[in-house]
């Protein structure tokens, strides 16, 4: 009988450890976001910013493209 009780205690300890590890990892797993942000600045060869430029990002995973226009500072 004693041997069985020790086995049960070990199983409970292992399951408890797995539960605690799962709780510790949950925030990192939830932090994974399927979307992202692409930022940048459009400049001419002399380093001057270019406002009003159409920027298009394409990717097979996007299943299409995303388009935006640079602001007065050349940022998108």
Q: For 15-63, how does the pLDDT look when each residue is reduced to its tens digit (9 = 90+)?
A: 888 788 777 777 776 666 666 788 999 999 999 999 999 999 988 776 7
pLDDT surpassing 60 at residue 3: no
Q: Is residue 23 part of a domain?
A: yes
Rg (CA), the chain: 26
Question: What confidence score (pLDDT) does residue 45 get?
Answer: 94
pTM of model > 0.75 = no
Question: What confidence score (pLDDT) does residue 61 get?
Answer: 72
Q: How far apart are CA 31 and CA 44, in angstroms?
A: 37
Tokens of 5: 């009780």
3-state secondary structure of 4: helix
Q: Which residue segment(s) compose the domain that 15 sits in?
A: 1-30
For the chain, how many structural domains are there in total?
Answer: 1
CB-based contacts of 75, cutoff 8 Å, min separation 6: 39, 40, 41, 49
Q: Is residue 7 part of a domain?
A: yes
Q: How far apart are CA 74 and CA 58, in angstroms?
A: 20
Q: Is residue 45 part of a domain?
A: no
């Amino acid at each position: 009988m004693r041997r069985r009780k020790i086995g049960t205690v070990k199983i409970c300890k292992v399951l408890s450890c797995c539960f605690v590890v799962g709780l510790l990892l949950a925030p990192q797993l939830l932090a994974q976001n399927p979307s992202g942000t692409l930022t940048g600045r459009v400049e001419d060869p002399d380093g001057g910013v270019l406002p009003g430029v159409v920027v298009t990002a394409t990717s097979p995973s996007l299943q299409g493209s995303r388009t935006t226009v640079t602001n007065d500072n050349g940022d998108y």
